[in-house]
Amino acid sequence: MILLNLPIFQAMTGKMEWLNRRQGILSQNLANSDTPGYTPNDLQNIDFSQLVKSNQSASAIHRAQLAAAEHKGQDNSASELGKTAEEVSAPGRETSPTGNSVVLEEQLIKVSETQIQYSMLTNLYRKQADMIRMAIGRN
């Protein structure tokens, strides 16, 4: 589909893939909230608004992420935008006597924020596609 080649759609798709991957990581954190010694993880934030403003293509975004991963000595050969984000350890402020540092409230807030952002992006994606269809005369 031609829409997927537009930088705005590539950026939105990349952000949705990033949010989807983050939701999975946050789910693992919640599932391991009672695991002794478990440290929660999160994804490194990517400034998608700056990428949209500069009107870079998805391939440029992907190259920048691969360069950052290579700089840190990681083998990061994933081809999808959302899968190239770096997973980082995000320990909570509290640690249980068993060494677990998952703070359920923090994780649930992150899950909620991620869901809200994903919902907003799907609505924005739909509205952008409708606007383009209307501009070319297809309803």
Instruction: Give the pLDDT confidence score for residue 77 in this predicted structure.
Output: 33
Query: 41, 29 in Cβ contact below 8 A?
Result: yes
Name 88's bridge partners: 42
Angle, CA 9 vertex, CA 4 and CA 12 arms, to 5°: 135
What is the amino acid identity at position 3? L
**Domain count of the fold of the chain:** 1
99: alpha, beta or left? (left if phi > 0; alpha if psi -120 to 50): left
pTM score of the predicted model: 0.68
Q: Is the pLDDT of residue 62 over 60?
A: no
Q: What is the mean pLDDT of residues 119-124?
A: 95
| Collapsed DSSP state (helix, strand, coil) of residue 116 | helix
Q: Which domain holds residue 49?
A: 2-34+42-94+101-135
Instruction: Give the pLDDT confidence score for residue 8 in this predicted structure.
Output: 82
Nearest to 68 by CA among 42, 47, 54, 89: 47
Q: Is the pLDDT higher at 39 or at 46?
A: 39
Q: Is the pLDDT higher at 82 or at 56?
A: 56
> What torsion do the CA atoms of 70, 77, 28, 120 make, to the nearest 10 degrees?
100
Alpha carbons within 13 angstroms on the beta-carbon side of residue 56 total 16
CA distance 67 to 61: 10
